[in-house]
Amino acid sequence: MALELSNYLQAAFIYLLAMEFKFKLSKDLQKWGYDITAKRSEAVGDETATEALSLGRSH
């Protein structure tokens, strides 16, 4: 039962990401109960550091 529920929650997230956010991870997903955090990557060589969003589940 837990695996089935997890699969449905993942499907719901994919639907939201596709239909509401055009497959762009956004901090606005927090309104739907997801934990979204910004992470900064290390600069490599001459490249500048970049910021990425990370998805987590709310408890």
Q: What is the number of domains present in the chain?
A: 1
pLDDT in tens, 2-59: 999 999 988 998 998 899 889 888 888 888 888 888 777 665 555 555 566 666 655 4
Domain ranges, residue 42: 24-59
**Looking at residue 8, what is its pLDDT?**
93
Is 12 a domain residue? Answer: no
Closest to 55 measured CA to CA, from 5, 8, 33, 20: 33
Is 1 a domain residue? Answer: no
Structure-block tokens of residue 41: 């990557």
Q: Distance (Å, rounded) from C-alpha 6 to C-alpha 59?
A: 13
Is 8 a domain residue? Answer: no
**Looking at residue 53, what is its pLDDT?**
66
Count of CB atoms within 10 A of residue 47's CB?
9
